[in-house]
Amino acid sequence: MTLEAWKFSAKLAWQDRYLRIVGISTLLVFLGWTSFFAWRLIPEGIRSGVLVMHYNIYLGIDDVRPWPWVFVSPFAYVGLYLLDLVIAAGIYRSDTIAARTIVTIGTVTGILWGISSFFLILVNL
């Protein structure tokens, strides 16, 4: 796919109301939740020097890392979601349903990340 073909497909994808609303609203909700996540965990991480990064009901706490690792998960998700948006915009012209599915799966993944980060907040506080 050439850059010009991607631009044309992205222009068509931007005109799709579903992709535009879901893409923008997911990014805005994610930025809001990430702000809350950072607001709750950064002071605790600075105070103690470490944060729990993974917990499960069978093993308990199994991953403790220095507090700057709190930024890895949100940055990884936003990077992957932006990659999803780029891919969806590129394939929109040839397969509209696949493009909408990619954006929807990214949104569902963001919801799951939000739930897991809520429980990380509870474990750390």
Residue 38: pLDDT band (50, 70, 90) is: confident
Quote the number of domains for the chain.
1
Cα 13–14–17 angle (5° rounding)? Answer: 90
Residues 49-99 pLDDT 10s: 888 888 777 777 777 888 888 888 888 988 999 999 999 998 998 889 999
pTM of the model: 0.80
Please check the confidence at residue 121 and state whether its pLDDT lies above 90: no
Q: Which of 81, 68, 74 is nearest to 33 (CA)?
A: 74
Residue given tokens 């932006």 in the structure block = 82
Averaged pLDDT score across all residues of the chain: 88
* CA–CA separation, 8 and 6 (whole Å): 5
Question: Cβ neighbours of residue 116 under 8 Å, at least 6 residues apart?
Answer: none
Residue 111 sits in which domain range?
Answer: 3-124
Helix, strand or coil, per DSSP, at residue 89:
helix
* CA–CA separation, 74 and 117 (whole Å): 9
Please check the confidence at residue 103 and state whether its pLDDT lies above 90: yes
